[in-house]
Amino acid sequence: QVQLVESGGGVVQPGRSLRLSCAASGSTFSSYGMHWVRQAPGKGLEWVALIYSDGSKKYYGDSVKGRFTISRDNSKNTLFLQMNRLRVEDTAVYYCASDSSTHGNGAFDMWGQGTMVIVSS
Amino acid sequence: DIVMTQSPHSLAVSLGERATINCKSSQSVLYTSNNKNYLAWYQQKPGQPPKLLIYWASTRKSGVPDRFSGSGSGTDFTLTISSLQAEDVAVYYCHQYYSTPWTFGQGTKVEIK
């Protein structure tokens, strides 16, 4: 199974950008679809984005569509989330999670520990 | 979007007793071509990421204690903890992966009575 470690979180002003990374190790990263899921403080889970194992397709939640971009580098076993035009309501812990399938039609098998993003002026 | 509604929002159960969490989807998550329900259950303890317990509505992930079981089909699902242990205190989420956007229930907090 893949092990996942997120990085790149921090405090950022509204309207600015941030790039999150998720480093994978242990298993074959390129075999799995990958997701970003976020959790606002004290709230539930919100799916953010999916990328297929080969990067051929990407899907986004409505709240981030047009502002966030998911990508991956299979040669470096790394997943990314480029977050632009950040809003206060984007404040959350961001988790990367591996799908149990190549195309995102499986359960979220493994999760990283998460990285906190705080959007505040 | 498929809306996932869990009940109850919280429950307190005595050690060794049964805990039951319900999850209802606003439309069926049963894919008839393979007869699989695209429904998973996760456990999240404070300060930790979610952990997959059950997938395909009733398949226990390897290493998950057999006191955890999932059942249901179509739009109505249940997670049962047959004999609650202290380490089971957590928030539990159901999740549909039938169609995008993938959605989660609002969570059910399980505590010890």
| A86-111 pLDDT per residue, tens | 999 999 999 999 998 888 889 999 99
Residue type, A120: S
Please report the DSSP string for B39-86 in residue order.
EEEEEE-TTS--EEEEETTTEEPTTS-TTEEEEEETTEEEEEESS--G
A120: helix, coil or strand?
Answer: coil
Q: What is the pLDDT of residues A14-37, one digit of tens each?
A: 999 999 999 999 768 999 999 999
Closest CA to A37 of A92, A118, A77: A92
Residue A31, helix vs strand vs coil: helix
- Asked if A45's CB is within 8 angstroms of B50's CB, the reply is yes
CA–CA–CA angle A105, A107, A112 (5° rounding): 120
C-beta atoms of B97 and A109 within 8 A: no
Mean pLDDT confidence for B73-97: 98
Distance CA B70, CA A46 (A): 22
Percent of chain B with pLDDT strictly greater than 70: 100
Residue A96 near residue A34, CB atoms below 8 Å:
yes
Instruction: Name the minimum distance, in Å, from the CA of B48 to any CA of chain A.
Output: 7
CA distances from residue A117 to A15, A29, A121, B50, B99 in whole angstroms, order as listed: 13, 25, 13, 18, 27
Residues of B with CB below 8 A from A110's CB?
A: 52
Q: How far is CA B66 from CA A18, B29, B58, B83, B108, in A?
A: 42, 24, 11, 10, 20
**Which among A44, A47, A95 is the nearest to B107, CB-wise?**
A44
The answer to whether the CB atoms of B50 and A46 lie below 8 A apart is no
**Interfacial residues of A (vs B; Cβ cutoff 8 Å):** 35, 37, 44-47, 50, 59, 61-62, 95, 100, 104-114
| Separation of alpha carbons B6 and B9, rounded Å | 7
Structure confidence at residue A100 (pLDDT): 87
Of A44, A105, A114, the CB nearest to B97: A105
Tell me the nearest-neighbour CA distance from B66 into chain A, angstroms: 18
Please tell me the distance in Å from B83's CA to the nearest CA on chain A: 25
Tens-place pLDDT, residues B28-48: 999 999 999 999 999 999 999
Mean per-residue pLDDT, B47-56? 98
> Using one digit for the tens of pLDDT, what is the confidence trace for A33-62?
999 999 999 999 999 999 999 999 999 999
Q: How far is CA B26 from the centre of its chain?
A: 16
Under 8 Å CB-to-CB from B78, ≥6 apart: which residues? B20, B21, B22, B23, B70, B71, B72
User: How many Å lie between the alpha carbon of A3 and the closest alpha carbon of chain B?
Assistant: 13
Q: How many CB atoms lie under 10 A from the CB of residue A120?
A: 10
